[in-house]
Amino acid sequence: MLLIEDEPNIAEAIRFLLTRDGHRVSHAIEGVAALAVLRDDCPDLVILDHMLPGMSGLEILTAIRADGTTRNLPVMMLTARGRDREMAERAGADRFMTKPFSNAEILAEVRAMLGQSGQTAG
């Protein structure tokens, strides 16, 4: 799984939570690095912040959907602004979560997106 989040505290919390749940989590803080990880790592899910330095989350999502190898990759968008939901959905986000969120919420969403009922994955 690839987490694209530039806020260190949020990134560390999500990474800790998902790793503890048995997931292997790669992390990028900006778009160019994220797209390189996508090419090299082939994650099973992307958790993508909307507001990032350089490329926005929507620009990264557009690049993901335009690439034949990542077009169908599940993507959950994170944002502090609920009004960004419509833009994210139009760009192809599969799920959307507004910050702040609970640990239980993000775990439930990740498990649902991976088709799990509590078991772990990489």
Q: Sheet with 26-28: list strands edge to edge.
A: 26-28, 2-4, 46-49, 75-79, 95-98
**Is 122's pLDDT higher than 90?**
no
Residue 121's pLDDT is 42
Token pair 């599940």 in the structure block, residue: 74
In whole angstroms, give the CA distance from residue 11 to residue 22.
16
How would CATH label the architecture of 2-113?
A: 3-Layer(aba) Sandwich (3.40)
Residue 82's pLDDT is 67
The reported pTM is: 0.90
User: Which pLDDT tens digit goes with each residue over 42-82?
Assistant: 899 999 999 999 899 999 999 999 999 999 999 999 987 76
In whole angstroms, give the CA distance from residue 17 to residue 89.
25
Domain ranges of the chain: 2-113
